[in-house]
Amino acid sequence: MRKDWYRTLIREIMTEELLIVRDDERVSVAAQIMEEYCVGALLVRKKGETIGILTEADIVCSLIPEGLSPDETRVSAIISGLPITIRTYSTVEEAYLSMARNRIRHLIVVAEKGEEEALEVGIVSVRDILYPMEEIEERGEEWKRELRSWVSFFPWKRRDWIEKIVTGNPVMVESDENIRRASTLMRDNHISALLVKEKNRAKGVLSETDIVRKIIAKRLAPEKIMASEVMSSPPITINFSDPIDKAYFLMANRHIRHLVVTTEGREVSIVSARDLVCLPAMKMKRAWKK
């Protein structure tokens, strides 16, 4: 792992295969593509021209709460607008700051000057930036040391605790609540995961990915499926007083995007990969310039 990771060019870490869906395609078909390729976003085109990006959040927050049918609704009806782009010669630092400013998880990579103008050539996600696991895992038992070195790229110190990035109490849903209601809670609270509880005990985490891949892609009815049927269980936890780099170890090692934060046996929050990105941009700039 290079020590100058934040200066790495986006073209070196981006996914070159862009998955594209037509604007008039059914949402259920788009969800099936997401499930098949294990991705959280698709580029949307109309007559060869890019008009937006479809994300898991669009499906969960714009389709399901409104009771729209994924088999009848077209992709163009729920996309939120043109994607945020970044140039191939931009750096990891620039991508990190762009995601933080715009509170997003995906950037479309476009050709640099001198190449064909505005040509989309790849996509970079928060996962690519937060934990480049393929490079780490190839090193076997050394991966923890490599990851710890890489984590030093971020603008906090080893003595910083999880409490620094905890944003509030977790939004909870009962295990027997249906997915339409759960999706409405996600939309109203602007979050990507819920803590699923049963008899006041945490049973799992329900994420946007769970809903899109296990329900919409399978063409199941959200109002007929309970949270307990598709949640990820058991929840992976981290203590309120644990160091922040432990969150990286857990997310990277288990290939997950959400951790349940606990203290004294109580669930007090959920921390996501996006939380680790969306820190104040100016704080990051100051830290990297030192």
CA distance 53 to 148: 33
Q: Which residues pair with 26 in a beta bridge?
A: 74
CATH code at position 123: 3.10.580.10
Q: Check whether residue 51 and residue 126 sit in a common domain.
A: yes
For residue 1, what pLDDT is reported? 43
Query: Measuring CA to CA, how many Å separate 131 from each of 2, 30, 101, 212, 252?
Result: 13, 26, 20, 23, 6
For residue 19, what pLDDT is reported? 93
Q: Check whether residue 112 and residue 9 sit in a common domain.
A: yes
Question: Dihedral of CA 62/260/275/131: which sign?
Answer: negative
In a domain, 264, yes or no: yes
Q: Check whether residue 74 and residue 171 sit in a common domain.
A: no
Q: Check whether residue 126 and residue 11 sit in a common domain.
A: yes
Q: Reduce the DSSP state of residue 250 to 3 states and report it.
A: helix
Per-residue pLDDT of the chain (290 residues), as tens digits, is: 444 566 788 888 888 888 999 999 999 999 999 999 999 999 999 998 889 899 999 999 999 999 999 999 999 999 977 888 999 889 888 888 888 788 888 999 998 655 555 688 889 988 787 655 445 545 555 555 555 555 555 555 545 677 777 767 789 999 999 999 999 999 999 999 999 999 888 899 999 999 999 999 999 999 999 999 999 999 999 998 888 778 877 887 787 889 999 988 888 888 888 777 665 443 444 444 44
Residues near 2 by Cβ (< 8 Å), separated by ≥ 6?
8
- DSSP H or E run through 262: strand 258-263
Domain count, the chain: 2
Q: Cβ atoms within 10 A of the Cβ of 185, count? A: 16
Q: Check whether residue 189 and residue 268 sit in a common domain.
A: yes
CA distance 149 to 153: 8
Domain that holds residue 228: 162-277
